[in-house]
Amino acid sequence: MHNVDIDVVELTLDVMKFAIARITDAEPPLGVPRSEEELKALAGETVTAKGIGGETAFKLFREVLVKASVAIDHPRHLAFVPASPTRAAVMFDLVTSAASVHGAFWLEGAGCIFAENEAMRWLVSLTGLPDGAFGVFTTGGTAANLSAIVTARETWRDRHPERVGKRGLIITSAGAHSSVRSMAKVMDADLLIVGSEERFEGSALRKALDELSADEQDRVFAVVATGGTTNAGIIDDLQGLGHVCRGRGIWFHVDAAYGGGALAARSARHLFDGIELADSITIDPHKWLFSPYDCGAVIYRHPELAQKALAQEGSYLDYFHEDVAKGFCPADYQIQLTRRVRGLPLWFSLAMHGTDRYEQAFERGIELARIAGEMITGTGYTELVREPSLSCVLFRRHGWTPEDYKQWTHYNHHRGFALVAPTKWKSYGSAETVARFCFINPDTTENDIAAILETMR
Ligand SMILES: Cc1ncc(COP(=O)(O)O)c(C=O)c1O
């Protein structure tokens, strides 16, 4: 398997040809899912004792499997949180794999971790956190949120050892991402959800805290605010929430997994004022920072607290910390040990293009949302549910039922035209099914938006 052979070289060339064509294609086929039975019928047995051969397996991938998978960077994929990795980042993702570097410890990954850290330094600089703040790249926002919240809980217990057996309590808002709820379950912590999907205000947090019993107040170990809610792009009152947390000695986490890129957009930066009060921040490069999957990031005001909470120990690992070339070990600051150097594609793309080009691309997402808002208001048959926020737009088609939205999404997707999914607004209380755009891809055009709205006529 590891000897050079001409078939492998030819296959490598084929694979590279596919990769180059895909990387340079500004409008790849959208990709439409097939049922498992259909795929089984088309693919047959693929994992066999003798192997089906690289050529056959790759042909199957190229002609069947990838076509049954959505191209997340399609310019008319505006559902969920799409992605739009830069060509440079995707290309460098191939290089990162080919380089085969272990990114957990400085001893093994020094050069590549150095480069990742350069990108991290830029991310940290966007937050306004003080000197000493730093972070690591994770598999995504869920892992980043979990790493931060576990650090918060361990710090809360370290301060008062009698809390060791006590169940912690997290406060967040209805607009918070579902991963916050899932992570509370993983940690077996209680979760208090305050308010609606609208902006979570410092005054609402203060009131919620005041209504808790003394014991409950002592159990609150973290408040999670959102810097760009996934559904509507709303940025919580970070200043107000941060000050309440400071005043009460509660860990303040800001989940900016989706919205974090906008920290670099001059037109939106002021909306994040107060983020510098955070104890930890999640930002996902694989969302609005144009990195390929999977790349999240968690940043800590005091990274040494994360190290204390999360670093793994084992006699077979001791040498990593004894080597003369000691340095930053990403494994110490998040929940995962073995890791690829997943921040490298971001680093390469940032180094190649410069941060100004990134700012332009974030501004374009915000601009597309504003333009879409104007177009929606102008059709006569659609209207905004609320003003666009960051790059999210919620809107309704007059007279449509939830079933109409579903049919519309299905129709556009299955003919390979667009993937725009409905959502619910005010999912706590009386929920209305509405349509939603989330703009990430700077290649999306005004014509794309107009053509999608036309399908609602
Ligand atoms: C605000 C927010 N937090 C966390 C997550 C979870 O991130 P991931 O899917 O990378 O685990 C998401 C995903 O959309 C998100 O929007």
Nearest CA to ligand 1 atom 8: 141
CA of residue 96 to ligand 1 center, whole Å = 24
Closest by CA to 108, choosing from 345, 346, 339, is: 339
CA of residue 349 to ligand 1 center, whole Å = 22
Q: Cβ(284) to ligand 1 under 6 A?
A: yes
Omega prior to 294 cis, within 30 of 0: yes
Q: Cβ(179) to ligand 1 under 6 A?
A: yes
pLDDT at 162 over 70: yes
Distance CA 334, CA 340 (A): 13
For the domain made up of 94-353, the CATH class stated in words is: alpha beta
Percent of the chain with pLDDT over 90: 93
Summarised one tens digit per residue, pLDDT across range 233-250 is 999 999 999 999 999 999
Dihedral over Cα of 33, 36, 38, 40: its sign: positive
Ligand 1 atom closest to the CA of 296, numbered from 1: 10
CA of residue 67 to ligand 1 center, whole Å = 25
CATH assignment, 356-454? 3.90.1150.170
CA of residue 284 to ligand 1 center, whole Å = 8
Domain edges within the chain: 1-30+33-69, 94-353, 356-454
Ligand 1 atom closest to the CA of 80, numbered from 1: 14
Summarised one tens digit per residue, pLDDT across range 178-214 is 999 999 999 999 999 998 899 999 999 999 999 999 9
Give the CA-trace dihedral at 292, 253, 428, 169, to 10 degrees. 130
Q: Cβ(226) to ligand 1 under 6 A?
A: yes
pLDDT of residue 289: 98
pLDDT at 304 over 70: yes
- The pick from 177, 197, 224 for probing ligand 1's pocket by mutation, whose C-beta has the most ligand atoms within 8 angstroms, reads 177
Whole-model pTM above 0.95? Answer: yes
